[in-house]
Amino acid sequence: MAANAICQNGQPHPVAPSLLVIPASLLSNWDQEITRFWPQMKVFIAHPAMHKGHRVVVPSKDALSKLDLVITTYALVQRYEWLQQQHWHYVILDEAQAIKNPRTKQTLAVKNISATNRIAMTGTPVENRLSDLWSLFDFINPGLLGTTKEFTTFTKGLTDHPDGYRRLRRMISPFILRRLKSDKSIISDLPDKVEMKSWSTLSKKQAVIYQQLVDGITEQLENSEGIQRKGMILAALTKFKQICNHPDQYAGMDSYIEKESGKFVRLREICTTI
C-alpha cells in the first residue's frame, strides 16, 4: 500500500497513494493505530475535524503523489471532488456495510472512485438481506454476481432451490478472507471473551404496557388461525422486545426517560462499577 512498496529492477517504483474510507467515528482510532504500528507512513486525513481551524486544504498533485495514504469518511467522498478525480492504488472500505444500499448517493459515490485495487472490510457482509452482499461485490468485483435484477431473481429462487446457496458460496469464496477472534494464529494475545448475564426488572410503566399487550394478543389469537396467527405472534415478539428495551421505543417516542426502563437503570448500575 505504501508508495514505495513496489520495486522494479531493484529500484523503488512509486505508485499512486491509497484511499481509506471509514465512518467518522473511527478517524481518531485509525490515526492512533497508524502512528503506533507504522509511524513512517505518510498520511493525510481529509476531514475538517482532524485539522486546525476545521478546514481541509486540498493537497496539490505533487504533494498527493508523495503520500502513502489518504483517509476520509463516507460522507465526504460525496463532497470532495478531488477524491473522485484521483486514481488510487487501493481503495479500502472499513465498515463496508455502509454501501449495502446500492441506490444511495453515498454508495454511488464510493463505487465511482477509480482504483487499481479494491478491498472491503466488514464484520457484517449481510445485515438484513442477500442484496447487501451483492452491493459489496458490485464494488469489489462488478459483474461477478450479475446485475441487481438478476441477483434478485436468483435470491427469490433460493426457497425452492436451496442448493443455490452452495453455488453462491463457491463463487464468492476466492474473494473473501475471513478472520475469527478465536483464531489464535492471527491474534495470539487476544483474551477470551467473557460473557456475564445481568438481569433487570421491568419498570412500572413497562410492566403495565407489557401486560396490556399480553391481554390484547391473547384475545386476538383466540380468533385467528394458520398463517395469520403465526404473523401475529412474530409481530408481538418484536413489540415485547421493544417494551423491554424502553416503552418509548414501542410507542415511537423520543423521550427515553431513564427511570422508565429497567435496562437503563441496570446499565447505570453496571457503569458505576467500571
Residues 132 and 239 in one domain: no
Residue 114 belongs to some domain of the structure: yes
Residues 122 and 238 in one domain: no
Residues 25 and 123 in one domain: yes
- pTM, two decimals, is 0.65
Residue 196 belongs to some domain of the structure: no
How do the pLDDT tens digits run along the chain, 274 residues long?
Answer: 444 443 333 444 457 899 999 999 999 999 999 999 999 999 999 999 888 888 888 999 899 999 999 999 999 999 999 999 999 999 999 999 999 999 899 999 999 999 999 999 998 888 778 888 999 999 999 999 999 999 999 988 888 888 888 999 999 999 998 877 677 676 666 677 778 889 999 999 999 999 999 999 998 888 888 888 888 888 899 999 999 999 999 998 888 999 999 999 999 998 887 6
Residues 211 and 126 in one domain: no
pLDDT of residue 21: 97
* Residue where a domain terminates, one of 109, 140, 171: 140
Positive/negative CA dihedral, 222, 224, 229, 233 = negative
Q: Specify the CATH number for the domain of residue 221.
A: 1.20.120.850
Residue 252 belongs to some domain of the structure: yes
**Exposure pattern of 243-260 as b/e (b: 16+ CB <10 Å)?**
bbbbbbbbeeeeeeeeeb
The domain in which residue 234 lies consists of: 204-271
Residues 128 and 212 in one domain: no
pLDDT of residue 219: 87
Residue 152 belongs to some domain of the structure: no
Residue 156 belongs to some domain of the structure: no
Q: What's the number of domains the chain is made of?
A: 2
Residue 154 belongs to some domain of the structure: no
Q: CA 107 to CA 25: how far, in whole Å?
A: 18
Angle between helices 226-245 and 262-271 (to 10 degrees): 40
β-bridge partners, 76: none
pLDDT of residue 6: 36
Residues 22 and 129 in one domain: yes
Residue 217 belongs to some domain of the structure: yes
pLDDT of residue 190: 66
Contact 46, 72 (CB under 8 A): yes
Q: Specify the CATH number for the domain of residue 65.
A: 3.40.50.10810
Positive/negative CA dihedral, 44, 47, 50, 54 = positive
* Residue where a domain terminates, one of 140, 168, 187: 140
* Residue where a domain terminates, one of 84, 105, 140: 140
Cα–Cα nearest to 260, from 210, 197, 213, 212: 210
Residues 123 and 21 in one domain: yes
Residue 23 belongs to some domain of the structure: yes
Residues 115 and 212 in one domain: no
